[in-house]
Amino acid sequence: MLYPKMTKSRMVFDLNGVWDFKLLQQGEKGILEQNQIFKDMIPMPVPSSYNDIYEGRKFSDHVGDMLYQRNFVVTSQMLYHRLLLRFGSVTHKAEVWINGTLVGDHKGGFLPFQFDITDIVSEGVNQLTVLVNNIVDNTTLPAGRLEYQRFPGMEEELLNLPNFDFYNYSGIMRPVVLYTAPKNHVDDISVYGKQDGSFFWAVKVKGQGKIDVKLLDQKYKEVFAGEGNEGNGRIDSVCLWDTEHPVLYRLAVTLTGEDGTIDYYEEEFGFREIEIRDCRLYLNGKPIYLKGFGKHEDSPIHGRGFDMVYNVKDVALLKWIGANSFRTSHYPYSDEMLQLCDREGILIIDEVPAVGLHTGFTATGLLGGTPNGTWTTLKTAEHHRQVLRDMIERDKNHPSVIIWSVANEPASEEDGAKEYFEPLVKLAKELDEQKRPVTLVTYKGSNPTTCKVAELCDILIINRYKGWYEIEGNMRGAAALLKEELEGFHMRCPDKPIMLGEYGADAIAGLHDLNGRMFSEEYQVEFLEAYGEVFDSLPYITGEHVWNFADFATAENVKRVNGNKKGVFTRERNPKMAAHFLRQRWK
Ligand code: BDP
């Protein structure tokens, strides 16, 4: 899906700002169908998570529907074009209404969707209403569970238990825009370039017309011209995209419609190749070692709401600390973050929101129910295909994206795991023209003996917390066991690179201890140091992603002290001792 950009044939109108908002109680959404006016609406910023804007647990932890509303104006000029309404993300389900008519709906909280609303709007003021639902259950990604709880003398309460370790922030969390495009317009572009200067393009069109393409270099100089909906080209003296010199080119596409109208769009991309051979990951033919983090889109007050200030700050901190990569744990991040990483040369493992696919395990013990029941209990397979398809369609042209992650910590040791994931891995490979490596990030229950998916992965990415959730306080022992396990994976898959996708210890910023006890900043350093020594002793280890970049909000439970404190930076992005340690190690 193309990012909405202003070009010489397209206009973009910003619908962000302060909308009207209301939490709906069960049954209340019926009012929408009757087109009645909602009372008691309160101001709500868009984009943002709704949760931390007003006080009260009842507000933050609301389960179910909520309503967003605003007016927008359509001018007579706008109606000469097609009008598309695009949401960067609405978590987790959305119904979009205009002037009392249902325009469409969307499931999945972390990817964009759009509707052509040309025939629904009229000149002048129009009313836009978005009904949002934040429930996670065994049909959604991420997965969760709905449960009714009753205490003596109290009314029954509906609880939504996330099967994942991050707060279930929701609402209209990424930008909303209205944009125009000619009746015959460019619907999608696929483009990628190789090391030898050759490149490939494919353009999808809504309507009819003729396609002309130009390749523009960093200085907007035309270096190639061609035509056709699909084609190949080649340029001389190509500048490759890499982490040091993230050089971007633009494919400028012109569609001349049957009616003589022109649509114009420029898509950025890079010339670069990712390859796996002999247990190593190669970028443009050179081995690359991934240093970085599992992250979250998370910040105070905004929650998971889009925040360009935090995005730029985070990339600046990645550079400061000497990291070259991160994983979009545990959902696809905003388009704008990926664009920033293209520009700054940060490598991304792009992950679908498939987390919590385990009925018997969560890191925090929040759920933990039927062992061995995952693949018969969850009803996510179809939706999983959909989000994987949507993510690859949205992100395929980003040079920063180097690996697709199909899930985080699923029940990959249970019967049925291989059958569930094999078609998904195949789908990712089919959809991606670049054939990027595909992986599944696995957890401790999925060890060299029990794992049922290792052979499906091009690179093994494993999460381990030895020295934290087990073998507490004994880093030497933990490191010895870690090494033994990594050797086990290498024996099983001798040709595959292996990296740690998560490893880390909670540290409360400012808590110090001479003996380096758990939760102190000293222990966090000792933990990372011990893991680092193991990685350095094993030649097939191809990367280290510390959990987590920054402290982040989670649901309440005894293992979380006002959120997850495994951040190397605090939630406000101040460094802990571990940040200085990693900076030395990585630089
Ligand atoms: C892993 C999960 C991650 C958690 C982490 C932790 O992948 O989402 O936040 O553990 O426990 O199991 O900190």
Helix axes 475-492, 521-536, angle to 10 degrees: 30
- In the block, tokens 């081995």 appear at 287
Q: Residue for token digits 């104006």?
A: 73
For the chain, give the number of residues.
Answer: 587
What does the pLDDT look like over 90-128, one tens digit per residue?
999 999 999 999 999 999 999 999 999 999 999 999 999
- Radius of gyration over every alpha carbon of the chain, rounded to an integer in angstroms: 24
Dist CA 476 CA 480 (whole Å): 6
Nearest atom (ligand 1) to Cα of 506: 13
Cα separations in angstroms, 274 against 218, 241, 256, 286, 372: 22, 11, 35, 9, 36
494 CA → ligand 1 middle, Å: 27
Identify the residue whose tokens are 């210890």. 505
How far apart are the CA of 417 and the centre of ligand 1, in A? 20
Cα–Cα distance, 203 to 253 (Å, whole number)? 8
412: left (phi over 0), alpha (psi -120 to 50) or beta: alpha
CB atoms inside a 10 Å sphere around CB 14: 10
**Which pairing describes strands 347-351 and 401-408: parallel, antiparallel, or unpaired?**
parallel
CA–CA distance, 86 with 386 (Å, rounded to integer): 18
Q: Using DSSP, state whether 419 is helix, strand or coil.
A: helix
Q: Give the torsion sign (CA, 222, 228, 234, 240).
A: positive
pLDDT of residue 363: 63
Query: At CB < 8 A and 24+ separation, what contacts does 101-107 make?
Result: 107/140, 107/383, 107/386
Give catalytic residues, as residue numbers. Answer: 409, 502
Establish whether the linkage from the previous residue to 548 is cis, with ω within 30° of 0.
yes
CB 525 within 8 A of CB 506: no
Contact 173, 335 (CB under 8 A): no
Give the H or E element holding residue 476. helix 475-492
DSSP three-state, residue 51: coil
If one counts every other C-beta atom within 10 angstroms of the C-beta of residue 450, the result is: 13
519 Cα: distance to centroid of ligand 1 (angstroms): 16
Question: 282 forms bridges with which residues in the sheet?
Answer: 275, 287
The two structure tokens encoding residue 438: 């595909």
Nearest CA to ligand 1 atom 1: 363
Pocket test for ligand 1, best of 352, 547, 560, 565 (most atoms within 8 A of CB): 547
What percent of the chain is helix, strand and coil (3-state, nearest 5)?
20, 35, 45
Residue bearing the CA closest to ligand 1, atom 9: 165
Q: Which is the closest atom of ligand 1 to the Cα of 554?
A: 9
Residues of the chain with pLDDT under 50: none
Q: From CA 503, how far away is CA 535, in angstroms rounded?
A: 12
Question: Helix (H, G, I), strand (E, B), or coil: what is residue 529?
Answer: helix
How many helices (H) and strands (E) the chain has is answered by 10, 32
Q: Residue 559 CA: which ligand 1 atom is closest?
A: 11
The set of protein residues with a Cβ atom below 6 angstroms from ligand 1 is 165, 330, 363, 408-409, 443, 463, 502, 547, 564, 566
pLDDT (tens digit per residue) in 158-215 = 889 999 999 999 999 999 999 999 999 999 999 999 999 999 999 999 999 999 999 9
Q: Encoding tokens for residue 18?
A: 């302060």
- Ligand 1 atom nearest the C-alpha of 362 is 12
Nearest CA to ligand 1 atom 10: 363
**Measuring CA to CA, which residue among 209, 202, 210, 212 is closest to residue 184?**
209
- What are the residues whose beta carbons fall under 8 Å from the beta carbon of 56, sequence distance 6 or more? none
Reported pTM: 0.97
